[in-house]
Chains A and B, each alone.
Chain A
C-alpha cells in the first residue's frame, strides 16, 4: 500500500525554502503572538474590572515584563512590515521579479527599528 501523503509539521519545517519561507513562518507566528497579547489584555481587563480579582494584575505583570514587551514588539513590527511587503507585491505583481531584494529591504528596515526598540525597552527596565 502506498504511504499516505500527509506532511508532518517537522517534515515541512525541514524543507529548505530559505528567506521567503522563513518570512512566511514568522508572519504566522507573529500573527499568533499578537492574538495571544490582545487576548491576555482583554482577559486581564475583564478580570480586574468585573471581579477586581488579582488574576488580572498577575496577567498584567506578565505582559508588562520586558521579555514579553520585546516579544510583542517583534510580532507587531514584523507582521506590519512583512504584511506591507506582501500587499505591495500583490498590488504590483511585476515587482515579484525582485522578491529577493524585497526581503532584504524588509530586514533592512526591520533590524534598526527593532534594535532601537529593544534598546529603549531595556534601558527603561534597567534604569526606571
Chain B
C-alpha cells in the first residue's frame, strides 16, 4: 500500500518555526511506524532526527505522537492506524531539541524526585530478602514501566506545568511504595503529597490509554492517593 508519512520538522540551527514534511512511500500493513521513519531517513532525507534503540518496545526511546496520540513507533503497525496518512510529532510538554527529539531532562528530574530505588537500611539477611508471591504481585503492574514518557506527556496537568511529577514518576514510586521489602514509603509519600504531587491528577486517563505496556496507571495513582489519605498501605 501507498502511505504518506507527515513528519514534524524543526532544526534549531536553521528554523525559526517548526514545519511538516511529507514523505510518500510503499509500505506493508504489517510495517511499524518506526520502519517508515527509517525508510524516510534512509532513502529520502538523512537529516530526519528521532530516537530509537531496541526497536522492540523495551528501551522506551521512541515515544511520539502518532496520529494525535502518544505511542511507541516500534510497537505501532500501519494496519493498526487504519489510515494511510500518518502524522508523527514529538511528545508534548517537553522542549523540542530537533524534529522528534525532545529534552527528557525535566521528565527524569521528576523521576529522580521520587527516589525510585530500593531503600532499606536494615542489615540484609545472609541469602536474600524473601517475599511471598502475593506481596510480589501487589506491585507487579508498575514494574513494567520502561520510562518512555508516553504517559507523562499525554497528561494535560503536565502540559500545564512540568513541575507536576507526572504519571510516570508516580508509577515508579508506586513500584517501591507497595514493595513489602522496601522501607522508603513514608518519604516518597511525603514527596507525592506535595502541591505538585498526586493531587494534580484529575483522572483524565490519557496516561492509561497511552501506556505501551498497558500499565493501569490511573489506578496506581489512585492507590497512592488513597495511601496518602488513609496513611495505610493495603
Contact = CB atoms under 8 A, between A and B. Distances in A.
Interface of A: 1-5, 7, 11-12, 14-18, 20-21, 24, 86, 89-90, 93-94, 96-97, 99
A94 B216 CA distance: 10
A12 B92 contact: yes
B206 interface: yes
12 contacts: A2-B12, A3-B95, A5-B162, A12-B159, A15-B156, A16-B67, A16-B68, A17-B205, A24-B202, A93-B223, A99-B203, A99-B208
B209 to A, nearest CB: 6
Contact of B94 (A5, A17, A94): A5
Contacts of B103: 2
A15 B95 contact: no
B218 interface: yes
Contacts of B218: 96, 99
Nearest first, the 6 A-B pairs at minimum CB distance are A93-B222, A20-B205, A96-B219, A7-B159, A3-B96, A16-B68
Nearest to A91: B226
B204 A96 contact: no
B69 interface: yes
Interface residues of B, number: 34
Interface in B100-117: 103, 106
Contact of A3 (B10, B162, B203, B223): B10
A16 B69 contact: yes
B68 A20 contact: no
B93 interface: yes
B203 A86 contact: yes
B168 interface: no
Nearest to A17: B206
A67 B209 CA distance: 36
Contacts of B67: 16
Nearest to A1: B12
Contacts of A5: 93-95, 106, 162
A116 B53 CA distance: 56
Interface string B198-225: 0000111110110000001011001101
A11 B67 CA distance: 13
B42 interface: no
Nearest to A4: B95
A101 B85 CA distance: 31
Contacts of B206: 15, 17, 20-21
Contact of B225 (A4, A16, A24, A93): A93
Given A17-B205, A89-B222, A97-B216, 10 more contacts: A12-B159, A15-B206, A17-B204, A20-B205, A24-B203, A89-B203, A90-B203, A93-B225, A99-B205, A99-B208
A20 B95 CA distance: 27
B67 to A, nearest CB: 7
A20 B204 contact: yes
Contacts of A11: 92
A24 B204 contact: yes
Contacts of A4: 95
